[in-house]
Chains A and B, each alone.
Chain A
Amino acid sequence: MQVVLFGICALLAIVGAVGVITARNPVYSALFLVLNFFSLAGLYLSLEAQFLAVTQVIVYAGAIVVLFLFVIMLLNLRPEDLPRFRLDRTGPLVVLLSLGLLLGVGMGIWSLLGASFPQDPQAQAVGTVESLGRALFGRYLVGFEVVAVLLLVAMIGSVMLAKRRFQ
């Protein structure tokens, strides 16, 4: 059951990821991104991380990509406005970097071969809201609060930038 779920989600995630960069129309790119996020949520579910899965959908699929779509739709791009993809001088570099990344990821996966899904109830409890909350507000409290301040600063900064342009 878990293996089947993993297979479907992993396949859809890859299809979505490839679709994001190959789709000619930016609206389709954004939609492929949603597909990718959904498949990732499915992968989280197969790892018993329910809270993470739902947060993934609420934050990324439900809010961030909607904002992307909002901007893309307002730009009203026509397919002919978009540059065609072609291999120029940076081409070989791109291929080299991609191959390097693929190799790195491949080695990572190779070392994980034989690992299995969490089976014991102890491991299953890790993904629940309770254990996540304990971890965030206990052991990792400082880091959590620092990230919160960082987000606040970024938000104030963007509001300031937007205000200055109008004055």
Chain B
Amino acid sequence: MAFESLQPKLLLLAAALLALFTMAAYTVYFERRISAWIQNRIGPNRVGPFGLLQPLADVLKLLFKEDIAPAAADRLLHRLAPMISVTAAVATIGVLPFAHNLILADVNIGILYILAITSLNVYGITLSGWASNSKYALLGGLRSSAQLISYEIAMGLAVLSVVVQSESLMTSQIVEAQAEIWNVLRNPLGFLIFLITAFAETNRLPFDLPEAEQELVAGYHTEYSSMKFGMFYVAEYMNVVLSSAVITTLFFGGYLVPFGHLFMSDLPAWARTGLEVLSFFGKTGFFVFVFIWVRWTIPRFKYNQLMRLGWVYLFPLAVLNLVLVALARMLF
């Protein structure tokens, strides 16, 4: 492939990475502001107007902190684990459609690629737990691997029900198939299952057992400091942003503008693309808010409850949903 033909893709990649990092950084800020609002506090408002420069200050602080690794840690894996976490998080943007024909790689197995990448997330967490050589970190890592594997199955089945409806594994076609009606209305149970498993896969409350503060100090990243800790932090919020983007793509029409068929055809191409990008990031932003909202509203599950919910309720429900969706597809 010639370099010239790659240039627009590289530009898009740079823009997407910039957007992702910015969104992840500001999700931290909004998490603190919204949690403060929910708990009737004020939150960070000192750095810049409304505290908007707070993420910048946080990153600078993390960069200048001393980087400590435990003496008994496995040095190589201790260093590798946060890198795996961030890489696995970033790699998802490759197949997300930001607007019509605005996608990095429209491969014909797009949605499976997302599942494959999210399943690699567990390595960063598990390895950091083991490499730290600390019992809290190890317990956090173990909990995480069991949790991710359990919820991956229900998540995969929920995704499959969407694939049955769209008759395609390509993310762009899944979006286009929702032009008449969003998948959330055709497949509400699938959406609910996917939403719950997304919370579990991102280790967010009410499923944040891998880092349960009261029991495990900070879980898998207890023994991390400086920017290595920062990378876990960034990875967590990137996963929140990306999960929101995937929920948008699968169930809420992706980049499609609501009621767009009424006025979109009259607009010039650049305005259509702009509106679609806005629509995509707007919907994604809404789900990021839902992630934060739930975290500060619902208390944590116990571990046996988590496993019971995953295997006894969500898994059979996801199978049932898949059968129902397939039946509806055959009959209508």
Contacts and interface: CB of A to CB of B under 8 A. Distances in A.
B99 to A, nearest CB: 24
A57 B116 contact: yes
B122 interface: yes
Interface stretch (B52-60, B137-145, B208-216, B252-260): B137-145
B142 A34 contact: no
- Tell me whether chain A's interface is mostly helix, strand or loop, or mixed: helix
Interface residues of B, number: 27
Interface of B: 1, 74, 77, 107-109, 112-113, 115-116, 119-120, 122-123, 126-127, 129-130, 138, 141-142, 145-146, 148-149, 152, 169
Nearest to A28: B77
Given A27-B77, A70-B145, A129-B108, A62 B120 contact: yes
A54 interface: yes
A73 B133 CA distance: 11
A145 to B, nearest CB: 17
A51 B169 CA distance: 10
Nearest to B141: A73
Contacts of B152: 62-63
Contact of B119 (A58, A70, A74): A58
List 4 A-B pairs, minimum CB-CB distance, nearest first. A62-B119, A57-B116, A54-B112, A58-B116
A98 interface: no
A66 B153 CA distance: 14
Given A57-B116, A63-B149, A74 B142 contact: yes
Nearest to A61: B120
User: Could you say which of B77, B108, B116, B142 has the most chain A C-beta atoms within 10 Å of its C-beta?
Assistant: B116
A66 B149 contact: yes
